[in-house]
Amino acid sequence: METKRDGEWFEVRIPEKWEGYTVHRIMEKEWHVPRKLMHRFRSNREVTINSDAVHWKDTKVTTGDTLHIRLFKPQPLEVTPAPMNIDVIYEDDHLLVVNKPSGVFTHPNRPSETDTLVNGVAAYFQENGIHATPKYVHRLDRDTSGAILFAKHDLAIAMLGKELQKRTIKRTYLAWAHGKVEPEEGIITKPIGKDLTHPVRRCVSSEGQYAETHYKVMEYSETDHASLLKLHLQTGRTHQIRVHLSHTGHPLVGDKMYGGEGRVNFKQALHAALLTFVHPFTEEVIKCLAFPPSGSPLFSERHIRLLNR
């Protein structure tokens, strides 16, 4: 898809596959624009064809036409910015992928919290002249490190949210699990629900939601009696990897809540190492590798490279 930014406006060259489509079809069926945002675009005449305001349901586009959308209108910052060292993996006018450190919450749980990744990204937006509130597409647990995807405007978050529902955004994790995991490759399909004896913990429960985790053993450490796993989630339940591995008798190293042990700052050995998705506007496949910090006692650059095997 041929696209570019022009100030507050986003320009798209109509591709051949959209020949004869109405503007309304592009907005509703191709880009899944929410009704509230559709209303704003219409009311403010923020969508044009060849620089002309047109009737959305009557006007059909032709290959090579220019579609303009006012996507980059300045928006108020809705969270408190807090300076943080932000490790940017990928960035363009629409998206930002950040490598989250372990020990940091993704977003505030109370208005008084200002030390989360969202607050740090808000400060990054301020420093770089991005007049918007960062919107996270998915989350990671506080003690899980790795790639998190953010949207920079309302249409991007809507489109990416739809992709998340369709499971076309792929997240690949690396983890150290206690013991020698066998078989070396498999699928764990156990429903996950709330643990009624604990305010935060989850558990395998017949009354829980369907959950599916794919895993593969990458290597085994005799010294630590632990397996390095590559994991892919087919579903995205809270604590899914932690619950599934614990249920199989191989909890994450350092994950005390689910039976793990370890000396590494008591943090679970789980890292979101690879994020793969189709860019909502350019339709390019974007692959983002999240490397651990230098000197990490859990994961190394070599471990990340193993994902390409």
> What radius of gyration, in Å, describes the C-alpha atoms of the chain?
22
DSSP the chain: --EEEETTEEEEEPPGGGTT-BHHHIIIIIS---HHHHHHHHHTT-EEETTB---TTT-B--TT-EEEE---------S--------EEEE-SSEEEEEEPTT--SS-SSTT---SHHHHHHHHHHHTT--S--EESS---TT-EEEEEEESSHHHHHHHHHHHHTT-SEEEEEEEEES--SSSEEEEE--EEE-TTSSS-EEE-TTSB--EEEEEEEEEETTTTEEEEEEEESS--TTHHHHHHHHTT-PBTT-GGGT---SSTT---EEEEEEEEE-TTT--EEEEE-PPPTT-SS--HHHHHGGG-
Closest CA to 160 of 137, 186, 182: 137
154 is catalytic: no
The pair of structure tokens assigned to 79 is: 């969270």
Rounded Cα gap, residues 228 and 33, in angstroms: 41
Selected catalytic residue, list 52, 141, 154, 195: 141
Backbone conformation region of residue 7, classed left if phi is above 0, alpha if psi is from -120 to 50, else beta: left
Catalytically active residues are 141
